[in-house]
Structure 1
């Protein structure tokens, strides 16, 4: 068991534009300016995914270089991938989905259900609290500035009153390096030009409040098959103060170590560099800057440890629990390495 470098896993023909900046990031190239004329509709790269798109049987699942689905590999040897403590508490459920997301246009206003809603109405163990580790600055809408009645919410959606929705939301400018927590139930809209590492509960549950001018049939596909009278019950219609919303930016650029303390019940994220380490366990690594190496310890092989794994900006990797504790090192005179470490919640 050793780290696996992942190829892109970008479902095609999504309902919003994007993908050019993911390609540039993965190539280690300078990010291009957002281009409103771009036509790519591959705005999401599902990294280390054991989760399918809503309603699909396989689309969205990651494949290992040997051709196996990651989900099948984990189910076949969960302790090696996830660790004994994780398996004892969660079984073979990885409990995490990581994406690269490139908003080639502003995303529609939408919301994700929480665990109780998903359990009651969809029979699922996970909702979709999520978080964004920002790689390119953007503007985001997040939560309501005032209480919103159910009648007003229904009217916004039924009439597609986008100005009304956006006008009742908080709007924040976020910078590269910021980490933003988005609790389930919070109405939100990521602005054009965003490139983020997105951590989330392992589902694809989105309820659309807005679909006008997007390539999707909202009345048919925007409510998870529940109908809007039920689906819109997932929306948190309460007012949030400006301080409440600013507190969702859990870490700022330059923060090393833990980035999302408020999301620890759902996932963990850390920004690491040379000299940092993490204990054995399943991890998705996104290399955001520079060149370096990962060194595993306690693999169980004679003498312990294995050959270090070289990493460079734009790579995404899976690190199995069986590789042991991991330390991060720089690589000679190259630009110092920086990475985002994404992990499931603690067992």
Structure 2
């Protein structure tokens, strides 16, 4: 099995604007106004959809079906023995054409107990083009206070509760389950997350979504808001969540390792991509990966059965992987 260069996979008509920065990064034609996400090597669907979001392979099969048919070849023996055909990873390019709403994602336990889902949604970002992000509470907030702000859609106060941080290319942001956050307009990022589409929306005015109906995952806000972290983050704690990535090696905090891994891999001459299922994004320069010429913006699906691969050239890769089994 060989690495597979993937075209973009952009679900249409998302509830927020964006997409132009993904087009520019990938060297593609301009996208529609609301195609702000590229679901790379995806075995996950948009919540409530049967197929939207899934990656189709060049032979016409869905990646999800191919992995289910041969999880060892795609994911590796150790992964398949522990988790079967669950890839345990969703990778996206995300272009915030407008500031995203204040929201949070549930933890595994909440998702299992109340939604019947295998995963919650931890996520982490690698910043490709900078701007402002809003992450973590500056002060403790009672659930009743949050519920009141949501009911009144007091966006100014909601945003004011969060730390405001300027991010730059090469920064990383770790967003544990439950953490309130919003991505500012103009930010382009690579997102790794658990393979679910589960968001608790505290804000929806100005977005193409029915917040009162869809924002609570069908649970009602009284229950949904109990999944939100309501304790403050100190400045020191925020430094552990948001910081510059090292120039090479693993870039996310260790707390993210149980969910996913991301390695920054500079290539100057020759290098080796170690075996295992991976999604590779070329962020700079030009490289040869197993005989395929790739330039910045390319996204590549690497099956475990591809084995140890040679990389050469002058550029940089981001290598996204599931958690170590």
| Alpha-carbon distance, 1:28 to partner | 7.8
Greater fraction of residues in strand: 2
Distance in 2, Cα, partners of 1:96 & 1:229: 30
Give a deviation string over 1:113-136, Cα, whole Å, max 9, x none.
011111111111211000111000
Aligned residues of 2:18 and 2:98 also touching (Cα < 8 A): yes
Distance in 1, Cα, partners of 2:252 & 2:308: 21
Instruction: Determine if the alignment matches structure 1 residue 82 to structure 2 residue 65.
Output: no
Aligned equivalent of 2:48, options 29, 50, 55: 55
Instruction: Determine if the alignment matches structure 1 residue 339 to structure 2 residue 321.
Output: no
**2:19 corresponds to:** 19
Give a deviation string over 1:174-198, Cα, whole Å, max 9, x none.
1101111110100000000010000
Distance in 2, Cα, partners of 1:28 & 1:66: 22
| Alpha-carbon distance, 1:326 to partner | 2.4
Instruction: Determine if the alignment matches structure 1 residue 139 to structure 2 residue 132.
Output: yes
Distance in 2, Cα, partners of 1:326 & 1:173: 37
Instruction: Determine if the alignment matches structure 1 residue 94 to structure 2 residue 94.
Output: no
**2:298 corresponds to:** 315
Distance in 2, Cα, partners of 1:229 & 1:145: 22
User: Within 5 A, what are the aligned runs for 1:148-159?
Assistant: 148-159=141-152
Distance in 2, Cα, partners of 1:83 & 1:250: 32
Q: Find the residue that maps to 1:345 and give its secondary structure.
A: coil
CA RMSD of aligned residues (A): 1.5
Instruction: Determine if the alignment matches structure 1 residue 174 to structure 2 residue 167.
Output: yes
| Alpha-carbon distance, 1:109 to partner | 0.3
Q: Find the residue that maps to 1:154 and give its secondary structure.
A: helix
Q: 1:108 to 1:162 in 2, by over 3 A?
A: same
**2:253 corresponds to:** 261
Distance in 1, Cα, partners of 2:134 & 2:65: 37
Aligned residues of 1:250 and 1:260 also touching (Cα < 8 A): no
**2:61 corresponds to:** 68
**1:217 corresponds to:** 210
Structure 1 segments, 4+ long, off by >6 Å, are: none
Aligned residues of 2:135 and 2:180 also touching (Cα < 8 A): yes
Unaligned runs of 5+ in 2: none
Aligned equivalent of 1:199, options 192, 195, 200: 192
Q: Using the TM superposition, name which of 319-328 and 184-193 deviates more.
A: 319-328
Q: Find the residue that maps to 1:337 and give its secondary structure.
A: strand
Distance in 2, Cα, partners of 1:244 & 1:213: 31
| Alpha-carbon distance, 1:231 to partner | 0.9
Q: Find the residue that maps to 2:236 and give its secondary structure.
A: helix
Distance in 1, Cα, partners of 2:109 & 2:165: 28
| Alpha-carbon distance, 1:211 to partner | 0.3
Aligned residues of 2:121 and 2:177 also touching (Cα < 8 A): yes
Q: Find the residue that maps to 2:192 and give its secondary structure.
A: strand
Aligned equivalent of 2:99, options 92, 96, 106: 106
Give the aligned length: 322
Q: Find the residue that maps to 1:50 and give its secondary structure.
A: coil
Q: Find the residue that maps to 1:196 and give its secondary structure.
A: strand
